Amino acid sequence: MDIGIPYYYTATITKWHKLLRLDKYKDFIISSLKYLVEKKKIKVFAFVIMPNHIHLVWTMLEKNGKEMPHASFMKYTGHIFLEDLTANHPQVLPYFEVDSTTRKYYFWQRNSLPVVLHSYKFWKQKIDYIHNNPCVEKWNLADLPENYKYSSAKFYLEGIDEFGILTHWQE
C-alpha cells in the first residue's frame, strides 16, 4: 500500500476461525487503530469487525518507524492475540499453528486484500457494503447497521464516533 492512497482493505483470520467473535479481540483491533490514528500514521474512513475478518477504508499517512502502518497493525494485533490466548485460552492456540521457520502461529491470513478506491461510486459501494455486512443473513449480528457496535455505520448515520478513530470519507 502506498502513502496517501485510499484503500478498501480486507484482512481475514487464519483459516477463517472466528477469533474476533469475542469483544475483547475486537477491542484489541480498535485499540491498535486508535493508536495509529492518534500518531497520525493512518486515517480511518470506515470499518467493520466481523467474527473472522475485518474491512477497512483507510489511508496510510506516513511510515510507522521503518514499516508501513498496515504492517504494524497486523504485527501488533497478532502479538496481542498471542499474548491473550497464551494467558487465557491456551487450548485455542493449536488452531493457529503453522509450519514456518519464522513463527509458530499466524493469526492473520497472509493474503490481506488492499483495493484502491478510485471513484466516488466505488467509495460509496464499499462503505455501504461494510455497514450492511453485520446485517446480512449469514451473520445476523444486528438488525440495523447502526446497531452493530464494531462498525462505522453509527458515525455516518447518527454522527457518533464511539471509538474516536474516524474521519468522514467526504472530508
Rounded to an integer, the average pLDDT of 58-65 is 90
Residues 139/133, Cβ–Cβ less than 8 Å:
yes
Residue 16 belongs to some domain of the structure: yes
Residue 164 belongs to some domain of the structure: no
- Return all residues near 8 (Cβ < 8 A) that are at least 6 apart: 55, 56, 57, 114, 115, 117, 122, 126
Which amino acid is it at 38?
E
For residues 1 and 18, what is the distance between their CA atoms, to the nearest angstrom? 26
Q: Domain limits at 89? A: 6-158
For residues 106 and 96, what is the distance between their CA atoms, to the nearest angstrom? 6
Q: How many distinct structural domains can be found in the chain? A: 1
Residues 169/123, Cβ–Cβ less than 8 Å:
yes
pLDDT for residue 55 is more than 90: yes
pLDDT, residue 66, reads 86
Residue 110 belongs to some domain of the structure: yes
In the β-sheet with 53-60, what is the strand arrangement from edge to edge?
Answer: 42-49, 53-60, 6-12, 113-116
CA triple 140-144-145, angle to 5 deg: 90
Residue 151 belongs to some domain of the structure: yes
Residue 148 belongs to some domain of the structure: yes
pTM for this entry: 0.94
pLDDT, residue 1, reads 76
**Which tens digit of pLDDT belongs to each residue from 128-153?**
999 999 999 999 999 999 999 999 99
List own/partner pairs for 139-144 with CB under 8 A and 24 or more apart: 139/50, 139/51, 141/50, 141/51
Place of cell 488492499: 114
**Which tens digit of pLDDT belongs to each residue from 18-31?**
999 999 999 999 99
CATH of the domain at 103: 3.30.70.1290
